[in-house]
A = this chain, B = another copy of it.
Amino acid sequence: MTTSYAYLGPRGTFTEAALLSMPESKNATLLAAESVNSALTMVREGHVLGALVPIENSVEGAVPTTLDELGHGETLEIVAEVAIPVEFALLVRPGTQISDIKRIATHPHASAQCLEWLRENLPGVNVIPAMSTASAAQGLSEGAPYEGAIASAVAAGHYGLDIVQDGIGDNDAAWTRFVLVRKPGFAKPSSGNDKTTVSLFMFENHPGALLEILTEFTVRGIDLTRIESRPTKKQLGDYFFSIDFEGHVDDERVGEALKGLHRICADVKFLGSYPRHASSDAVVKPAVTDRAFQDADEWLRSIRTRTN
C-alpha cells in the first residue's frame, strides 16, 4: 500500500482543504470518497492508511454519521483532529457576470450561512439545494441549469470556475472539525494536551446515569469538551452518550476514569486519543497529574504492607 488517505469528497470539499492542511497529506495520495461510510470502509479494507471525515461543525453540530460509523463494524481509532475556518465563495463559470445570476446551487447549510450577503447583493436569486458545496461547483462546471454555486474558494480551482467574491458568509467564526481515523495501533503517545473520544452505553436507561458518568470524569479532574445523547436505534428513548474529553488514554487520570466507566457502563467504546487542535494549553490540576497518581500508589502500598 502506498501512502494514501481517503477524505469525504468530491474534490473541493472543505474536508479536502482540511486534509491538505495536515502534515500527513504531504507526499501522500489523497482519494475522494463518496460518503463517510465509504471513506471508513476504505480504511477497514486496507485500501488507504486513514481517512479524514468531518465530525462537528459550528452550524450543524456533530456529524451523526461519522460518530455512528466509527462505533459500528471493525473498530477504528481517531489519531488526529483538525479544525478549519469555513469560508464561502460565490463561484461562476468563466465569463458569467454577477447580473447574469438567477439561480445558485449549494448545500442548504451553506446557503443558510450566506443569507445576509445574498439579500443585499443578489435579492430575489433562486437557491437550489445540492448534496454538497463541492457537488454544486462540480455541477456548475458540467453545465447544470444554474449560474452560480456557493462553495469553498479551492473548489474554483478544481472545477475551472471563477470566484466572484470570497468570504460571503454571515458568520466570521464558522468552522468545521475533522478527524483522521486509522486502524487501531497507530495512536500517538500522550502529548500533555490531548483529547479522547468514547461512546458510553448504559445498562438500562436509568435516571441519574448521566450524573454518574459525569462524576467519574469530575473526580479525576477531567473536562468534557462535547457530549450528546444519541439514540441506540433499538427503541424510542434508549440512548447512549457520545463524549469527547481532555486527556490521553495513557494519562493516569484518564485510565482511572475509563476504568470507572467500564465498571458502571454496559459498554464503553474507545474511539481514540489524539493531540488536541487548540491554541490554548491544557491545565492539569496538581491533584490529578501522573505524579500525583504515582505518589498515591506508593502511599497505598505502604499502608497495605505495614508490618510490626
A residues sitting closer than 8 Å to B (CB atoms) are: 35, 37, 56-62, 64-65, 77, 83, 108, 112, 129, 131, 171, 173-175, 177, 183-187, 207-208, 210-211, 214-216, 218-219, 223-237, 239, 249-250, 255-256, 258-260, 262-264, 268, 270, 278, 287-288, 292-293, 295-297, 299-300, 303-304, 306-308
Residues of B within 8 A of A234 (CB): 173
- Closest Cβ neighbor of A306 among chain B residues: B184
The reply to whether A225 and B237 contact each other, CB–CB distance below 8 Å, is: yes
A34 to B: closest C-beta gap in Å: 9
Residue of B nearest to A261 (CB): B296
Q: Which residue of B lies closest to A69 (CB)?
A: B112
Which 10 pairs across A and B sit closest by C-beta, in order of nearness?
Answer: A185-B308, A259-B296, A184-B306, A207-B223, A185-B307, A262-B296, A58-B231, A228-B228, A263-B287, A61-B230
How many Å from the CB of A216 to the closest CB on chain B?
Answer: 6
The interface residues of chain B lying within 8 Å CB-to-CB of A235 are 173, 175
Give every chain B residue within 8 A of A171 (Cβ-Cβ): 233
Cβ–Cβ < 8 Å partners of A300 in chain B: 249, 255, 258-259, 262
Contact B226 A229 (CB under 8 A): yes
Interface centre among A171, A260, A288 (most CB of B within 10 A): A260
Give A264 to B295 CA distance when docked, in angstroms.
12
Check if B57 sits within 8 Å of A250, measured CB to CB.
no
Copies in the complex: 4
> Smallest CB–CB gap between A203 and chain B, Å?
9
Residue pair A56, B231 in contact (C-beta under 8 Å):
yes
**Contact: A174 with B233, CB < 8 Å?**
yes
Q: Which residue of B lies closest to A77 (CB)?
A: B306
- A60 touches which of B37, B64, B278 (Cβ 8 Å): B64
Tell me which residues across on chain B come within 8 A of A303, comparing CB atoms: 249, 258, 270
Which residues of B lie under 8 Å from residue A37 when comparing CB positions?
112
Residues of B within 8 A of A288 (CB): 263
Q: Judging by beta carbons under 8 Å apart, are B263 and A231 in contact?
A: no
CA distance A259 to B226 in the complex (A): 25
**Chain B minimum-CB-distance residue to A265:** B287
Cβ-neighbour of A307 out of B184, B211, B224, B255 (below 8 A): B184
- Chain B residues lying within 8 Å of A233, measured Cβ to Cβ, are 58-59, 171, 173-174
Once A185-B308, A249-B303, A303-B249 are accepted as A-B contacts, the answer to whether A263 and B129 lie under 8 Å apart by CB is no
Q: Which residues from B are CB-within-8-Å of A218?
A: 208, 211, 215
Given A219-B219, A231-B57, A237-B225, A299–B214 Cβ distance below 8 Å? no
Q: Please state if B185 and A236 are interface contacts (CB–CB under 8 Å).
A: no
| Bound complex: CA A210 to CA B131 (Å) | 35
Q: CB distance B61 to A231 under 8 Å?
A: yes
Point out the residues of chain B lying under 8 angstroms from A239, CB to CB.
226
